[in-house]
Structure 1
């Protein structure tokens, strides 16, 4: 009896996983088109993605859902490098925020600090 529950749980997890993989493929496709266009009609985008408009609207809302989160203050924030909004039947792509490169900044600061320390060591030796 327990074996049946394990198999059912396995099948459910597999089904959910495959559904998520399919969603991610669609989202990757819509993201690719959004990066190319600043505005595009829903009909044209649906044609490019080979889906009907209601399906495209579902894909776009799924994209919004998957790329937004709620922060600790309760504000909705975007994790996406490409964002958009729909006005009538036009999709308007919003400028994406440049990715902040904190790692590069800190590495440059470390190199500068090492230079200052080396200069100080030379001063002590004199």
Structure 2
């Protein structure tokens, strides 16, 4: 089971690499690049979708991947990557503001 998962992850890594390069690509062309037939590529793409999506607490499906795609007929279209949210930076800025407010309040008490 472990070796099967490793092999699957290698294929998914290859798909991700090609999807990062193209904004759209035909299924036949991607299959040729990956050296697989089109039906195998469809299976790989479905596996990629399955592995990179999850269900949130409200029952909605969300993507965990930095690259997403959809298919229309035999064309694969890559969707823009999600911007990386920097929660740490936001909280550090808020902490710095709070410290500034506390220092101002301390100065007012001393005066």
- For structure 2, which runs of at least 5 residues remain unmatched after alignment? none
Rg bigger for which structure?
Answer: 1
SS of equivalent residue, structure 1 residue 123? helix
- For structure 1, which runs of at least 5 residues remain unmatched after alignment? 1-15
Corresponding position: 1:94 with 2:79 = yes
Deviation at 1:123, TM superposition (A): 2.9
Corresponding position: 1:25 with 2:10 = yes
SS of equivalent residue, structure 1 residue 100? coil
4+ residue segments displaced more than 4 Å: none
> Number of aligned pairs?
111
TM-score by length of 1: 0.79
Q: Which position in structure 2 is the counterpart of 1:9?
A: none
Aligned-pair Cα RMSD in Å: 1.5
- 1:22-69 deviation line (CA, Å, top 9, x unaligned): 111111111121122110111211122222211111110000111111
Greater RCO structure (CA 8 Å; 6+ sep): 2
SS of equivalent residue, structure 1 residue 96? coil
